[in-house]
Amino acid sequence: MHRFFALLAVSAAGLGLYLLLSAPDPEPRGAGALDHAPVSYGVWALGLMMGLTLAWLAGIDWASLPERATRWFRLQRKRLGWAMLGGLFAGILLLF
C-alpha cells in the first residue's frame, strides 16, 4: 500500500508542476486565451481528486484489516478486471 501511496503522491506532484508550467500568459488575447483553459482546469481537477484520494488512503489503518476483508478486496479486484475487459471488448465491438 505504501508503494501505491507513493505513486499517487508523485503523480500529484507531477500534475501540480504541469499545471504551473502550462499556465497561460497573464494577458492572453483572442482565441489563444482559451487554448490552455481546458488543460489547466482538467489538471486542477485531477490534482484535487488525487489529493482527496491520498487523504482518504492515509486515514485508513491498513494493518488492522481482517483476512476476510482482504479476500473481499481480491474478489472485487477480479470483478473490476472482468468488467474493464468486458467494457474494452464491448467498445471494440461497437467501434468497428
Q: Which residue has the cell 500534475?
A: 15
- Residue closest to 68 by CA, chosen among 58, 76, 78: 76
**Domain layout of the chain by residue ranges:** 1-64, 66-96
Higher per-residue confidence, 95 vs 36: 95
The C-alpha cell of 27 is what? 494577458
pTM for this structure? 0.39
Average pLDDT of the chain, as a whole number: 76
pLDDT value at residue 89? 92
Q: What tens digit of pLDDT does each residue of 32-89 get?
A: 555 656 666 777 777 788 888 888 888 877 777 776 677 888 889 999 999 999 999 9
Residue 39, pLDDT score:
64
